[in-house]
Amino acid sequence: MSRNKRKTSAWQAIAVTTICVLFVMTALVGLYKCFSQEPTLDNAPPLTGDPAAPQELQGGKRGSSANTLSAASERKEHYYTILLGGLDDENGGSDTNLLVALDADQKTINVVSLPRDTLLDVSWSVKKLNNAYHHGGISQTQAEISRLLGIPVDYYVTVDLRAFVELVDAIGGVDFDIPVDMDYDDPYQDLHIHFQQGPHHLGGDEALQVVRWRQNNDGTGYATADIGRIGTQQEFLKAVAKQTLQISNWDKVSAMAEIFEKWVETDLKLSNLIWIGEQALTIGSSNITFHTLPGDGAGYYKGGSYYVLDPEATLEMVNTYFNPYKNDLTMDDLHILVP
């Protein structure tokens, strides 16, 4: 495994920090400061993504606008979509992206992992999702995800890797069942990951090692590569959410609020974050469901390696779990490039 892949894999862990801080800790801050306010959406149409896209869509129809239906459809009440991004300050990109759909009426939270190598229909030579950040920051990433899936991305939250370690330590560590033996050493980065399969109590640094691990020195690892790693991250996220929601952790609200203030950036107001956190506390960790965009991680496009989405399966997932509109989307609303 290359050093670059090892480095970027570490940033996959950031998603864990963001979801916990956003959906739980802000609610506790709200109890502490005693105010909250539901977000208010304006009537602006969703961002449309790369204006210089070469119109290369294959294997299906493309509407004149990626959000033709969405812009004119009536939205569900108390339903919000939020992009959770992990920023790699060293590489200048967003290598971890999760899209969260909060439905306060139905009492559900759905989270989909967006693989960093997801193929986009854009004008750039490297058509990977994580490259969107290089072409316009988090707003460009929002726009491309919106165009890809045919839905608006209402808000964003980004978080620094160091928050992950601090949060896990702040809640006293996390009990987690490690799915495989992990045996990896990289002397160049002074990185050493050694865990046996089975239950462990992990502190912040240990948890970071587990969620960043991809394969062993002998080449063994997850059978499904990055998708397997995403699965471990999602399971760890559930464990963190369960641990954080325990009443015994409420006395740590001050420390957790400091972690949030120091490492998290967002276009949501604090009062909005508190409202979202209150909804998450009401919904509970058992009603947080995790998904991965359906596709082929071994796909290719014009000689490059990409995660190629399955259009029909993606449309079904979006309509079932991530559509903020009362009407179902059609294939014309999505913007999926198929080799």
Task: Burial-class residue 14 by CB neighbours within 10 Å (0-12, 13-18, 19+).
Answer: buried
Q: Are 322 and 139 in contact (CB under 8 A)?
A: no
Instruction: Name residues of the chain where pLDDT drops below 50.
Output: 1-14, 16-18, 23, 27, 32, 57-71, 90
pLDDT in tens, 289-325: 889 899 998 889 999 999 999 999 999 999 999 999 9
Q: What pLDDT does residue 14 have? A: 47
Q: What pLDDT does residue 294 have? A: 94
Burial 222-233 (b: 16+ CB within 10 A, else e): beeebbbbbbbb
Q: Map residue 186 onto helix, strand or coil.
A: strand
CA distance 234 to 193: 19
Q: What pLDDT does residue 218 have? A: 87
Q: What pLDDT does residue 102 have? A: 96
What tokens appear for 236 in the block? 């760890």
Q: Could you tell me which residues come within 8 angstroms of residue 147 by beta carbon, excluding any fewer than 6 positions away?
A: 46, 47, 48, 49, 50, 66, 67, 335
Q: Are 63 and 107 in contact (CB under 8 A)?
A: no
Q: What pLDDT does residue 161 have? A: 67
Q: What pLDDT does residue 116 have? A: 86
CA distance 157 to 15: 10
CA distance 314 to 5: 26
Q: What pLDDT does residue 17 have? A: 46
pLDDT in tens, 152-191: 999 998 877 677 788 889 888 999 999 999 999 888 878 8
| Bridge partners of residue 292, in order along the sequence | 113
Q: What pLDDT does residue 277 have? A: 78
Strand 198-202 and strand 174-178: the pairing is: antiparallel
Q: What pLDDT does residue 275 have? A: 84
